[in-house]
Amino acid sequence: MVRKRLIAVLTMNNGVLFRTRNFIPDYRYTFNFVDAWSVDEVVLLDITRLGEGTRQNFFEVVSLFAKNCFVPLTVGGGVRSTEDFNTLLGIGADKVVVNTQAVLKPKFITEAAKVFGSQCVVVSIDTKRNEREEYEVLSHFATRPTGLKAHDWAKMVQEYGAGEILIQSIEMDGTLEGYDNRLNRMISDAVDIPVLVCSGAGNWKNFLDGFKEGGASGVCTTNIYHFTESSIKSAKQYLIRAGIDMRN
């Protein structure tokens, strides 16, 4: 059995770490405290809107992390081509996240998987409940409804060749109130590839619920460690005591 993972997701706006709330940057941080965490992976996402910054600032952050990070590094944001994959892998990424481009051109997932391997391709799915209470996929920084149902898109993503799915609840993002595990379970039951759940974690029990109720392969935290000095190592010990087979 593959062991479960605890993952830190860091959202960068023009090269600066920001906390987000409902996918909108709302508080600025520095990021030099990250290297003390005993995380299994780090995910770096560029959330810079078009015209609000440069890609070079983000690339410099990725390069810095790659030099100082001793766990797998997954990187995404604005990925539109295999050349973008080459760039990010070349500066230290181990895996690459795609989102909007996958929605616009699903065969891009297949193209990237053939060139770099499925294990390198992570598709991020941003979703929000619509007026029919269905989980609908949104693209373009969660600003454009696509008409796709989240569980249907997850199945398609797997068929096109993605190696992992990162599922994000727009409504729960930044709330610290816990994951939307109804959504997470729907996605994890729909596919066979690993599902990383994100958005809403506020305490260690939320991590446990993400595994037990959401069926997650990995639980992600974006904001919780901006508000506490408690270590990831302690969180892992809590999860192990609760019966979760965590990575050391």
- Domain spans of the chain, in order of start: 5-241
Percent of the chain with pLDDT over 70: 87
Residue 245 confidence (pLDDT) above 70: yes
What ranges make up the beta strands (E) of the chain?
Answer: 5-13, 16-21, 24-29, 41-46, 73-76, 95-98, 121-129, 135-139, 144-149, 164-169, 195-198, 218-221
Q: What is the pLDDT of residues 101-154, one digit of tens each?
A: 999 999 999 999 999 999 999 999 999 999 999 999 999 988 999 999 999 999
Residue 67 confidence (pLDDT) above 70: yes
Is 179 within 8 Å of 200 (Cβ atoms)? yes
Protein fold of 5-241: TIM Barrel (3.20.20)
Which neighbouring-strand residues pair with 8?
A: 42, 221
Q: How far apart are CA 113 and CA 107, in angstroms?
A: 10
Task: Please compute, for residue 169, the number of CA atoms within 13 A of its CA located in the half-sphere on the CB side.
Answer: 29
Q: How far apart are CA 197 and CA 212, in angstroms?
A: 12
Residue 15 confidence (pLDDT) above 90: no
Percent of the chain with pLDDT over 90: 66
Instruction: Give the global pTM.
Output: 0.91
Is 8 within 8 Å of 34 (Cβ atoms)? yes
- Per-residue confidence band for 32, with pLDDT thresholds at 50, 70 and 90: very low
More confident residue, 46 or 35: 46
Q: What is the pLDDT of residues 179-208, one digit of tens each?
A: 999 999 999 999 999 999 999 998 899 999
More confident residue, 65 or 82: 82
- Per-residue confidence band for 49, with pLDDT thresholds at 50, 70 and 90: confident
DSSP 73-137: EEEESS--SHHHHHHHHHTT-SEEEE-HHHHH-THHHHHHHHHH-GGGEEEEEEEEE-TTS-EEE
Is 218 within 8 Å of 239 (Cβ atoms)? no
Residue 218 confidence (pLDDT) above 70: yes
What does the pLDDT read at residue 38?
72
- Per-residue confidence band for 88, with pLDDT thresholds at 50, 70 and 90: very high
